[in-house]
Structure 1
Amino acid sequence: MSFKVPRGTQDILPDQSEKWQQVEKVLRDLSHVYRYKEIRTPIFESTELFQRGVGDTTDIVQKEMYTFTDRGGRSLTLRPEGTAAAVRAYVEHKMFGQPDQPVKLSYIGPMFRYERQQAGRYRQFVQFGVEAIGSADPAIDAEVISFAMDIYKKVGLKDLKLVINSLGDKETRDAHRTALINHFEPSIGEFCSDCQKRLEKNPLRILDCKVDREHPLMANAPALTDYLTEYSAEYFTKVKDYLDRLGIPYEVDPNLVRGLDYYNHTAFEIMSTASGFGAITTLCGGGRYNGLVEDIGGPDAPGIGFALSIERLLLALEAEGVALQEDDQLDMYVVVMGEAAKAKAVELVSTFRANGISADMDYADRKMKAQMKTADRQGAKYVIVLGETELEEQAVNVKEMETGTQEKVAFAELVNFVLQK
């Protein structure tokens, strides 16, 4: 019987994992620069957390969650996104009582959604995200957007487009909701069954429909920005002013609503404009979620965040032909000739590694020529051949592979020799 990786998942093999590590290093380094501290939450949570936090009218909750009942009869769900869990932890551990607000969090880990597999989209995918909870300042919105843009710039992407919108406050949403119902209701029978249900429950979700996105009524649907209250309009203006000050170009898209119910005020997406990237261009999305902390049982603590898929980031790098700087240098390869030499090689390799020098040796008792080929294939900077003569002299010829030059070095001086080069 043969086994294969489950549909919608992937194995990240050693020749690919180096790229992941490079991207993850950029994410962690920028988190440090922006002062977003890592939080690690469980892979599964109470199903109700996502129903209340993400919204029961979203595709995620209605169609895409991996939900199961445990032996205690509790309904649990593999996390489909990171914000709800981060906010739950914020409330449970009373982080709102910390003296420094907003609380800035970052996370990275697998998420799970049962959706159709496409290029760069999997049912298990790795998501990086940040949350800034405890501030309603438009400046923090600009900071979060700047953080997201910096990630893509840092890895070398250039074909990017930032799209922003304001979803307004409750008064804005109520007025817009009425306008949407009046707009779509006469022709709602022409829309998919999901949109027909959304009309009364949450008509804003119609604008995010993937099935009916080309319907003529979508193009001239009432825009949220036309219903912004004075406060919402002023808030959005300030966010745009901050982005202008930061030199971050953007486009305002009145139809950008994002796929989660908790968003209000600022919403944004970063898209790839690279040729051949694919029909779905979104790389990253985020926005403000004032009220979510209260919905999950906490105090009034407004927040904003974003999340991105590492799989799609790597796909964008491929589309633009950007090669990451891989740090996989093999400093020393030890070629072994005979059993006595192998014992000494094990000792030397261990000493190299203890001093931060990457080292490897032959474990297959191959001939010298085959071992040299391995050293060359792995890009070893130095090679030493260890045999009876070297053991007697307690010294070895160190060959620099790039130049072919050799230098005799005593065993006791090998570490210093490599470190000083």
Structure 2
Amino acid sequence: MFLRRLVEKVSIRPIAESVQHPITYMASGAIEYPIVPFQQYVDHYLSDPLIMSAADYIEQAVAGMGGYTTADVDVAKNSIDEFNAKINLDELHLKIAKWTTLCGNFFLERVYDTYDVETLKDPWTSAKVEIIVPAKDAALVDIKPLQLSSIVSAVRAPDGTILWYNRLYRGQQTKLSSKLVIHYRWNVVDERAFGTGWLTSMLTEGVGFTVRGKLRKREPFVRLKEKLDDASMRLAIKAIPRHVYVFPAMPLDVLKEAQSQLEKLEPEQDFLTNSKEFDVREVGVSSRAVLEFFWKHIFDQFVMGTQTHHVRLFTTPGFTEASARVADAAMERKLMAIRRFIKRVTEREIFDEFLRTHGMDPRQANVRWNWGLKEEPRIEIGHLIKFAELLAHGVQVVRLDELREMLKRFGFMLTEGTEVKE
């Protein structure tokens, strides 16, 4: 009882529970929790095929094409490209795209070659806290993804700056400095420490309404869907039409024998009887239509929440490929916004930090990430004709021997004669 009263007094909650008041304010700062614990996102992704399908689709749509870098300084570009290959940036971008859109957050840890200790003030206890930070002349040497479900809360200064993240990993509680963390925080609401994703609203209960003086709240849509899944299964197994076999005036011992024989029959098998006035009566169930209505309502909410209308191609009659293309075109604007967000955070928190800690000027290098495949210049026959015209007027863009070599690649049969002076 003492422990329960203590927990209620200091507002500590189990990590697995949903947070109704995710921010605790103090004079020297605040402790802030995610609206929904990150473990719930992981659990529902692994257990719900619709959520997994939507998350994987958005992941591939955002970052599946990969990308390449451009820069104003070749040395900086080559260094960044080598570092990207080391940390496997393309794979990291896939994870970032999936979880940033799913729950609004993803975390990477910067790994340096040397570290130092920084002393901060704990807003909760006012005690001094020592946390590990990069040393003054440390160099960034690696990037590692942090386990999403291990992030419990964020501690903020009075001005809103995040001081450190509270982490619970393999039973050990640690404080991770914000100087070591790259936080992809998407769709921030009310300037909170954590972002929100498309699954957040479906894991959150309704605001609530009052009926006869009592507050009622809608359950989270994910929970309603799971209940309907269970109800559908029970309806399919237990609420199928039943049959009553009527044998008028049959002796009890003969009736029991008929019962034992009927129980051995397979559903598709028939039987014979010479009983007079024999009858079979079917007992139906009328709740199936009501269940289908609610199931369609919840499914529509899921499709709107996941923003993956292509699912209707496989589930909804009459939803054609043309309809899916229109839906995809509308969604492309959202995908472009997500790509731009990921690009900016990657450039600022990874590229610039790597260059700065390795003695290069990020502004001068101007290393940029570009989505998609790099387009190489394509030579057409019209370009060669233009080059020949320029040569005839004494303007040399390419040499004559280079022009002849390019013409050969286009299939022109050119003889090797005396060299013509340009």
If the length of structure 1 is used for normalisation, what is the TM-score? 0.23
- Bigger relative contact order (CA 8 A; separation at least 6): 2
Larger radius of gyration: 2
